[in-house]
Chain A
């Protein structure tokens, strides 16, 4: 373990409160800047202020890189992005936790198995190879097999719960929302976050989904080892391959990138359409790519899995179907069903929502309406950016701070935002076909 001084480890309640207070402080500074600008007569609209506040909150909170953030902005018109940003913030807070010390890892094993990892495995690296969202991954070897052992930070589930209690009022205040409006969304996010801390559940889901995805080509799943796993320790195969960034640095051919992109696309379509259950965390760290067999994709981390209820599935599918896009009355009916449009909305408001939804569905649904789609096409991303900017700039829309739509859409959106971003970065051209 490193002996370097480690910064930012807000685990006690007080330390975390201080961290959030800092966000509050920065938001306060934004107000000061706003009034200062006003005082010197320069144009500083309240929108600027809100944008600055939101930026402060969203700030470094997501692992998403620039391009993804643009897409995220675009989807933010549904305001579902608030809870997702919220989720990302916790993820971020966990990412910045310093690595567990060797002795604590040993202790976690003693608690779980009554043995130290050095007794349990033939070989065990006390230094973590990488950080997982709420733990760290160690390399181990047993009977000649390379294994990845994920060890969870102690007390994570507890700190998630108290973080949520701490940040909720501040987040609501800053975003200008009241609790009743966002409760279903926050509950959805909390459930997912807490599920992620249960490695037993992750093991079961990983095994199930891997078994069901057997027919799919060019995909690879690690085998899990229940005998070396508990609620806090998860042991699986160490899959070969590289993460997206490193993989792209090796200059893979277009064919390989296409095949990997295709495997990823098929994997998600299969889960959504056949399993109604989604690996809802398409984060670059959860995929391993390699050039063997013309491109193979390894899928890790089933901590965040979204079960899609039948009615939500139908709704989502219908929204993306080509017929819907052409038929305004049908779109209106579907959006009302999804809770985006409400009977109490003023006609002008309704038209506004309808217009913006139509515009974004046209673009987002684009890959679904074509037989093949080139995610590497810069024009598509440019169009997404432009739409995102337009929506963010729309003064009418920005006044609508209240989130709308089914809470199930949070993770569906997150999944597709992540998937599109990965495919774009991969620059893959894919046979997308029409959503069945």
Chain B
């Protein structure tokens, strides 16, 4: 398909040259297609970057869900499996991942990198589903109002994991594995039923009197 060819050519160019092509014209010329063909699929190069990242995420979810044990996992394990699979994929594409992250990261560090926009949307849907399942099984406490913010909270965790991976200098990124393990355990301890729920319950009881 023409779209995949353009995406692949763009990826190859970025990997070889270390920066995006100077213009859409140059890339399409190299490919031997008309420039207008490009715009039928993408408005600009950034859109390709966003799509590549979204592909990483989708691939990670699909591969993780293909494991025979997937159905036996709870929400915590499903999220872990997603992260580990994603890291495997990123390991194979680390050069591109670092390059594209860095390009959009350093401008405004507090915000999420723009290349992750599509990735983020899918991720938040995925997490919302996990959380809903978790609430059914009782793994996650039901906290009306507060829980609407969970997907954003987990997105910060995903950013932390990506940032940790980008900076990890251990062999085979072993520390990232440990970081994922601990971050996810902590987050599920927080969203699971814990002291906070009992405290809120207690306060509500006192106030209602």
Tell me the A residues contacting B by CB distance below 8 Å: 1, 3, 5-6, 9, 11-12, 98, 100-104, 106-107, 110-111, 116, 118, 126, 153-155, 158
Q: How far is the CA of A101 from the CA of B84 in the complex (A)?
A: 11
- Does B10 count as interface, using CB distance less than 8 angstroms? no
B174 lies within 8 A of A106 (CB): no
Question: In this complex, what residue of A is CB-closest to B139?
Answer: A3
Q: How far is the CA of A103 from the CA of B181 in the complex (A)?
A: 9
- Does B68 count as interface, using CB distance less than 8 angstroms? yes
Chain B 156-195, CB-CB to A under 8 Å as 1, else 0, gives 0000000000000010101101101110110011001010
- Does B76 count as interface, using CB distance less than 8 angstroms? yes
B172 lies within 8 A of A111 (CB): yes
Partner of B77, one of A12, A102, A154, A155: A102
B181 lies within 8 A of A118 (CB): no
A3 lies within 8 A of B192 (CB): yes
Once A5-B194, A155-B178 are accepted as A-B contacts, the answer to whether A110 and B69 lie under 8 Å apart by CB is: no
- Does B21 count as interface, using CB distance less than 8 angstroms? no
- Does B71 count as interface, using CB distance less than 8 angstroms? no
New contact pairs (12) apart from A101-B80, A106-B84, A118-B69, CB-CB < 8 Å: A3-B76, A3-B192, A5-B192, A11-B178, A11-B182, A101-B77, A102-B73, A103-B81, A104-B181, A111-B172, A126-B69, A155-B174
Residues of A within 8 A of B177 (CB): 104, 107, 154-155
Residues of A within 8 A of B64 (CB): 103
Residues of A within 8 A of B77 (CB): 1, 101-103
Q: How far is the CA of A197 from the CA of B105 in the complex (A)?
A: 37
Q: How far is the CA of A106 from the CA of B77 in the complex (A)?
A: 11
B174 lies within 8 A of A6 (CB): no
Once A3-B139, A116-B67 are accepted as A-B contacts, the answer to whether A154 and B174 lie under 8 Å apart by CB is: yes
With a 10 A CB-CB cut-off, give which of B64, B72, B83, B174 has the most chain A CB atoms: B174
Q: How far is the CA of A110 from the CA of B85 in the complex (A)?
A: 10
- Does B88 count as interface, using CB distance less than 8 angstroms? yes
A6 lies within 8 A of B189 (CB): yes
Once A3-B139, A116-B67 are accepted as A-B contacts, the answer to whether A101 and B76 lie under 8 Å apart by CB is: yes
B181 lies within 8 A of A100 (CB): yes
- Does B74 count as interface, using CB distance less than 8 angstroms? yes
Residues of A within 8 A of B84 (CB): 103-104, 106-107
A103 lies within 8 A of B88 (CB): no
Which 6 pairs show the lowest CB-CB distances between chains A and B? A103-B81, A103-B80, A155-B174, A107-B84, A154-B174, A154-B177
Count: A-B pairs, CB below 8 Å: 75
Q: How far is the CA of A9 from the CA of B185 in the complex (A)?
A: 10
7 A-B pairs in the complex with CB atoms less than 8 angstroms apart: A100-B181, A102-B77, A106-B81, A107-B177, A110-B88, A154-B178, A154-B181
Interface residues of B in 116-167 (CB under 8 A from A): 139
With a 10 A CB-CB cut-off, give which of A101, A102, A153, A158 has the most chain B CB atoms: A101
Tell me the B residues contacting A by CB distance below 8 Å: 64, 67-69, 72-74, 76-77, 80-81, 83-85, 88, 139, 170, 172, 174-175, 177-178, 180-182, 184-185, 188-189, 192, 194
Residues of A within 8 A of B73 (CB): 102-103
Which DSSP category, helix, strand, loop or mixed, fits chain B's interface?
Answer: helix
Question: In this complex, what residue of B is CB-closest to A159?
Answer: B178
Partner of A5, one of B72, B80, B170, B189: B189
Q: How far is the CA of A118 from the CA of B31 in the complex (A)?
A: 44
User: Distance in Å from the Cβ of B38 to the closest Cβ of chain A?
Assistant: 37
B182 lies within 8 A of A102 (CB): no
A9 lies within 8 A of B67 (CB): no
User: Distance in Å from the Cβ of A19 to the closest Cβ of chain B?
Assistant: 14
A158 lies within 8 A of B175 (CB): yes
User: Distance in Å from the Cβ of B62 to the closest Cβ of chain A?
Assistant: 15
Residues of B within 8 A of A9 (CB): 182, 185
Question: In this complex, what residue of B is CB-closest to A108?
Answer: B177
B194 lies within 8 A of A104 (CB): no
Partner of B67, one of A5, A104, A106, A155: A106
Residues of A within 8 A of B194 (CB): 5
A158 lies within 8 A of B174 (CB): yes
Residues of A within 8 A of B74 (CB): 1, 3
Q: How far is the CA of A5 from the CA of B83 in the complex (A)?
A: 20
User: Distance in Å from the Cβ of A329 to the closest Cβ of chain B?
Assistant: 55
Q: How far is the CA of A11 from the CA of B186 in the complex (A)?
A: 13
Q: How far is the CA of A158 from the CA of B171 in the complex (A)?
A: 10
Q: How far is the CA of A71 from the CA of B81 in the complex (A)?
A: 47
Residues of A within 8 A of B181 (CB): 100-101, 104, 154
A155 lies within 8 A of B139 (CB): no
User: Distance in Å from the Cβ of A120 to the closest Cβ of chain B?
Assistant: 12
User: Distance in Å from the Cβ of A140 to the closest Cβ of chain B?
Assistant: 14
Q: How far is the CA of A6 from the CA of B178 in the complex (A)?
A: 15
Residues of B within 8 A of A155 (CB): 170, 174-175, 177-178
Residues of B within 8 A of A100 (CB): 181
Partner of A106, one of B69, B83, B139, B178: B69
Question: In this complex, what residue of B is CB-closest to A1?
Answer: B77
Q: How far is the CA of A100 from the CA of B180 in the complex (A)?
A: 11
Residues of A within 8 A of B83 (CB): 103
A107 lies within 8 A of B88 (CB): yes
B185 lies within 8 A of A6 (CB): yes
With a 10 A CB-CB cut-off, give which of A1, A3, A6, A12 has the most chain B CB atoms: A3
A118 lies within 8 A of B68 (CB): yes
Question: In this complex, what residue of B is CB-closest to A107?
Answer: B84
Residues of B within 8 A of A154 (CB): 174-175, 177-178, 181
Q: How far is the CA of A12 from the CA of B160 in the complex (A)?
A: 14
